[in-house]
Chain A
Amino acid sequence: MLTSAQWTAVWDGTLITLEITAFAIVVGCLLGVVLALGRLSKHRILRALSWFYIWFFRGTPLLLQLFMVYYAIPIIYLESTGSQLNIDPMVCAFITFSLNTTAYLAEIIRAGIESIPGGQMEAAKAIGMTYGQAMRKIIIPQTYKRLIAPVGNELVMLLKDTSLVSSIALSDLLRTTKTMANASGNWLYYLYAAAIYLFLTTLLQLGTDRLEIKLGAYEKR
């Protein structure tokens, strides 16, 4: 069994994992909508910018992005301005995971918007709505139910991928248990981490299942 000090450490580690996940999914959904609309835009420059963003953040390893924000930016800053820049590793994690998740969610949201029949936009325009009004009130609300499954997927991946922050000196859940395992030579500590990750992903899975049923209620005949 864990000592009470160890429980506290595991609890703190779990909190770090959860904070990064929650922050990234919220920012990711907001920016993801913007980027998805960019991808669907009539303006070539907006389309190109969104495409480029997604291309970069999906095309390079998350761990590499984390290193770039944590190690490379302070060095570039030092070389160009001559002064030190200390970034809190937690802030680095927030930024990197948000930017990365945004790229994946943008594609999910874009596909969701494109799956809504074209007649919906036409009907909205026929009663005088602008593009923005139609998107906000008609199109995007209809995507919610369809987005739950793929966004749930992304959320579960995100939660597990936050374990990468152990490489930038953040004591998340995995790193905390790893430290205990290394110090004691007892691999059983990893089981605690596995159990907690499983517990959290189970909650997510059950939650998204219920949400999907609730949001799809209007489709029932």
Chain B
Amino acid sequence: MVKVEDVHKQFGDLQVLKGINFEVNPKEVVCIIGPSGSGKSTMLRCINRLERITSGKIYVEDELTENRMNGKTVEKIDPQKLANLCLDIGMVFQNFNLFPHLTVLENVTIGPTVVKKENAKITEEHAMELLEKVGMADRKDEYPARLSGGQQQRVAIARALAMNPKVMLFDEPTSALDPELVGEVLQTMKELAQEGMTMIIVTHEIGFAREVADRVIFMDDGVICEEGRPQDILLNPKEDRTKEFLNKIL
């Protein structure tokens, strides 16, 4: 579904990603863990081109979306094809980034109406189904400012799902939440995983990773140190750096 080959990313002189390789299969749930500044979020943002990689290749659904070398594009991809592939990637942000001037319902419908020019009635029905699913249907006419962080994040998940993505990226979706609101968001994500959505999740929620992930990737200092089944990585890590990290946060 998503394949990343020897990806490097540099911000000025700072090497953030130093040769990342991984592949995510359809319906797989992959959690990326690791200390702050290890490049987890940057990796995720490179997949849907919010950041451009310095060099390496990225494939989405076996189609090349990025092929760059030393900050220059090696292989140009047809923009229309690229736009369509990017529509298959949904993203949820740490700070929700809901559109504050739109109601809950409008936040969910604006993607399909503006980008896909879909019929308003069908879009709205679909949006209501999604809001039902994340438990926010009764708040459809509220503005985001009146919602709690957990509620905002659930609307943000519905907004991403409205585009019918094939893979969902989560960038620390619960890090900005008060502790008592984390559970409702994780529950929504768990249900999504059970429905067979392909998910790549950057998270500090080790318990969630153990329960939901098919595979855990531990990143440190711009490289993947270790990856494998959650029980192996989280309970019996082989690498010292993984052990050290888990000791600190558990």
Could you tell me which A residues sit within 8 Å of B by CB distance?
Answer: 117, 119-120, 122-129, 133, 137-138, 141-142, 217-221
Contact = CB atoms under 8 A, between A and B. Distances in A.
A81 to B, nearest CB: 47
Given A119-B93, A122-B93, A129-B114, 19 more contacts: A120-B97, A123-B98, A126-B48, A126-B90, A126-B93, A126-B160, A127-B159, A128-B83, A128-B111, A128-B115, A133-B115, A141-B101, A142-B99, A218-B100, A218-B145, A219-B100, A220-B143, A220-B145, A220-B146
A137 B114 contact: yes
Contacts of A122: 50, 93, 97
6 contacts: A120-B99, A127-B90, A138-B99, A142-B99, A218-B102, A221-B145
Contacts of A125: 50
Interface in B60-88: 83, 86-87
A119 B95 contact: yes
A123 B99 contact: yes
B216 interface: no
A178 B87 CA distance: 65
A119 B89 CA distance: 17
Interface of B: 48, 50, 83, 86-87, 89-91, 93, 95, 97-102, 110-111, 114-116, 143, 145-146, 156, 159-160, 162-163
Contacts of A127: 90, 110-111, 115, 159-160, 162-163
A119 B97 contact: yes
A161 B102 CA distance: 38
A218 B7 CA distance: 42
Contacts of B110: 127, 137-138
A62 B115 CA distance: 43
A129 B115 CA distance: 6
Contacts of A123: 91, 93, 97-99, 156
